[in-house]
Amino acid sequence: MKKKMLNQRGSAIMISLLVLMVLGILLTAASPMIINELKFETINANTVGAQFAAEAGAKVAIEALYAGNSDWTWLAKNQNLVTNNSTKTYNVTISPTISGAPVPGTAYTITSVGTVNNVSKQVVVKATTGSTIFTNSSFAAGSITMNGGTINGNVATNGSLTMNSGSSVAGNATYSTGSPPPSSAVSGTVKQTSNSGSLNVSSFMQTIPAVPTFTKSGTDINTKPSGALAGGSYYSNSSVDLNRINYTIASGNSVLIYVVGNLQMDRSSSIVGGNITIYATGNIVMNSGTSVQAGNNGSVSLYAGGTMQLNSASITGQTIILQSGSDMTLNSGTSIQQATSGGSVSIYSGGNFQMNGASIAADAVTMISNGTYTLNSSTTINPTLPNSITKIYTNGATQVNGANIGGTGLIVSASPNTVYLNSNTTTSTTVLIAQGNVQVNGAFTGGIYSNGAITVNSGSTVTYDPTAAGKLGLNTSSSTSTPFSINSWGKQ
């Protein structure tokens, strides 16, 4: 019995020794794997930490741009992520080089390298500082000269600011060169800075759309001297003079009149009802008492390959398009208006454009001129529609001579010529953006922004309306919005 117990105990010891031997062999084999795994986890932790450090450095730079900081001496130097811990750092560079306050409207590239225990990661952020140009009542890339006029709102110039006797600014004044304006003429602060931003006029411009393609077909219009026109196409192989001719179109029908040559309407001639499209390869002239009037919620579209001239004529429709390949003139007594609220008027002149006492009324008005643009005395655009939006784009010399633009307006002049807002002009909530100089001579207008110089003469008033810039979709910034945009956030 005793011998049996000794044998059993010996067997147990042998089994235990075998188990320990096997475990030892397995542990020896696994040791490199465990060591490598520990090393990998350490490297992974350093990599993640380095990424966090790089992102932290980028965020520090973004915050500095946001705050408009002027101290950038910390750039291109290792900065400790944790106080007194040099094993976790970030190093930031910014291009283009920045040494003072961020320049409004500038695209900066932020490169941040984070390092933790000699492991590095990099992030690249592209950020554009927001333009503060449209928070001013007036901005000029050149100089601003005031000769007795008044500007209500802030003023900024990348040149000199000259305020002669009788001039006043009800706001802050920022200038770059020359002597400061008299503090008694400025209600707010006066500050000198090297750059108040830049103005890209071309980014605000619009171009004339292409004329739709029409096909000459259907019925010869000369065989229809007057009366009802069924829906469809009509044509003439030569010029047409509608003299005391009255056409009617059934509600809901659409008519195309295609004229090879000129179209002229005289002596109370009219085209009324439905949707009306007229295409003339030559000129279109509508004389006194003539009218083109769409049906309920219908459209009127007039296209002239040459000039277009309306002389005390009337056009009514919910959607109105007037387009000429050359000059367009809207003379005294001419009325272009929407049928009901929510309508639109689009006017495209391939050459010079002029309004001489004509009127336009629609909730949305768009006007583009490839030549000069002139609004003369007694001309009105939306004078009684306070919620309307008028947008005017010109490629030639521009003058507003005693006209009235109501609602919210925008005039963009891509021409290097001086824009004139002359006496008796009322465009109180119209924003002017000009490539060339601007001269205000006894006019009442909204914000003025010029890549040239601005002159505000006696009797003129420029008043900033922050709601106008917002309605027009201009780039604005305030204390409650980020003064820059992050264009991309790349990691390397």
Please tell me whether residues 120 and 25 are part of one structural domain.
yes
Q: What is the pTM of this model?
A: 0.77
Give yes or no: residues 103 and 238 share one domain: no
Phi, psi (rounded to 5 degrees) for 149: -80, 175
Write out pLDDT tens, residues 38-75. Answer: 455 666 789 898 998 999 999 999 888 877 787 999 99
State the total domains in the chain.
Answer: 2
> Is the domain of 229 the same as that of 331?
yes
Q: Domain check: are 124 and 29 in the same one?
A: yes
Q: Is residue 291 part of a domain?
A: yes
Q: Give a yes or no: residue 413 inside a domain.
A: yes
pLDDT in tens, 121-160: 999 988 877 667 888 999 999 999 999 999 999 999 999 9
Bridge-based pairing state of the strands 85-95 and 79-82: antiparallel
Report the pLDDT value the prediction gives residue 134, as an integer from 0 to 100: 87
Q: Are 228 and 349 in a shared domain?
A: yes
Hunting for tokens 């007057």 — which residue is that?
A: 226
* Whether residue 437 sits in one domain with residue 318: yes
Contact 362, 341 (CB under 8 A): no
- Shared domain for 120 and 264, answered yes or no, is no
Q: Is there a single domain that holds both residue 346 and residue 437?
A: yes
pLDDT at 225: 84
Tell me the average pLDDT across 448-455: 97
Q: Which two tokens stand for residue 18?
A: 């075998």
User: Does the residue 232 lie in any domain?
Assistant: yes
Domain-located, residue 449: yes
**pLDDT at residue 24 tops 70:** no
Residue 305 lies in a domain: yes
Q: How confident is the model at residue 482 (pLDDT cuts 50, 70, 90)?
A: very low
Residues 266 and 400 in one domain: yes
Query: Quick one: pLDDT at residue 476?
Result: 47
pLDDT at 444 over 80: yes
Query: Domain of 39?
Result: 2-130+484-491
pLDDT of residue 33: 56
- Whole-number mean pLDDT of the chain? 89
Q: Is residue 138 part of a domain?
A: no
pLDDT higher than 80, residue 490: no
Please tell me the distance from the alpha carbon of residue 486 to that of residue 472, in angstroms, as a whole number: 23
Residue 256 and residue 107 share a domain: no
Residue 342 scores a pLDDT above 90: yes
Task: Please check whether residue 145 lies inside any domain of the structure.
Answer: no
Same domain, 351 and 218: yes
Residue (of 366, 245, 259) closest to 306 by Cα position: 259
Residue 153 contacts residue 173 (beta carbons within 8 Å): no
Q: What is the pLDDT of residue 37?
A: 55
- Strand-pairing partners, residue 344, are 319, 364
CA-based nearest residue to 438, from 465, 459, 411: 411
Residue 100 has a pLDDT of: 79
List, for residues 79-123, the tens digit of each pLDDT value.
998 888 889 999 999 999 988 778 766 788 999 999 999 999 999
- Whether 120 and 209 share a structural domain: no
Residue where the block lists tokens 């643009």: 373
Write down the pLDDT at residue 26.
Answer: 58
For residue 195, the model assigns a pLDDT of 83
Q: What is the mean pLDDT of residues 175-179?
A: 95
Q: Write the pLDDT tens digit of every residue in 391-442.
A: 999 999 999 999 999 999 999 999 999 999 999 999 989 999 999 999 999 9
Q: Is residue 109 included in any domain, yes or no? A: yes
What is the reported pLDDT for 481? 36
What pLDDT does residue 466 have?
81
